[in-house]
A = this chain, B = another copy of it.
Amino acid sequence: MKRNAKVSTAVIRRLPRYYRHLSELQRTGMVRISSNALGKSMGLTASQIRQDLFCFGEFGQQGYGYKVDSLKEEIGEILGINRGHTLIVLGTGNLGRAIIQNFQFSSNGFHLLAAFDINPGVVGTQIAGVPVYHADELEDFIAAHPVSVGMLTVPIMAAQTMCDRLVNAGVRGIWNFTNHELAIRREDVVVESVHFSDSLLALSYMISQREPAAGAETEEELE
């Protein structure tokens, strides 16, 4: 496998989608797929797919397509699924709880170690088998257990403070659901934010494009 530091953000963003689609194909029992067919199922062209994968080395055989399981495995390797990454959750409100209970951390290569909160009603309990500690114990916990990523589902007012504490304690990534633009002073720490509003606004744009423009009826009548 090539390690290419200059892979574009757009390609990085597509890699998880490849992984997801290949996992789906594997579940349906498909053994081999052409770049045409893979492209069709993902809304990409075959040449786009060949270009994307070429960033990481040679995959597939001319005229034979890709072997679903080995391509999935290679992309998983590129994504770091076998690195033994660990994760903790900060904030066990509805969103934190929903993700702890329903998200398949292990299929994404993450071991969910613990959750933290300040609410006495949940500290000391377990959520889906995950122990919930008091936020005061955060630094001691991270010192004792290497943590790759801290997931932030705290209220927005607490976002930057908890982010700073995670970074100072040595995590390497922040998975941010707080809708706060986190400021990070260290170049070796990565923030990945899930902005629900970006997604809903993109949907708003797409449905608006299919509607008559506001006032368009009038204009058309005048023509």
Q: Which of A's residues lie within 8 Å of B, judged by CB?
A: 3, 5, 10, 12-13, 15-17, 19-20, 24, 78-83, 85, 93-95, 97-99, 101-104, 107-110, 148-149, 172-173, 175, 181, 188, 190, 192, 194-211, 213-214
Contacts and interface: CB of A to CB of B under 8 A. Distances in A.
A200 B192 contact: yes
B188 A80 contact: no
Given A79-B204, A95-B95, A108-B204, 6 more contacts: A10-B10, A13-B198, A16-B201, A82-B214, A94-B95, A194-B196
A189 B53 CA distance: 31
A119 B175 CA distance: 31
A80 B203 CA distance: 9
A89 to B, nearest CB: 12
Contacts of A175: 199-200, 203
Contact of A148 (B109, B172, B207): B207
A202 B175 CA distance: 10
A15 B82 CA distance: 35
Contacts of A197: 16, 20, 103-104, 107-108
B83 A198 contact: no
A107 B94 CA distance: 21
B15 A181 contact: no
A80 B205 contact: yes
A3 to B, nearest CB: 6
A152 to B, nearest CB: 12
Nearest to A82: B214
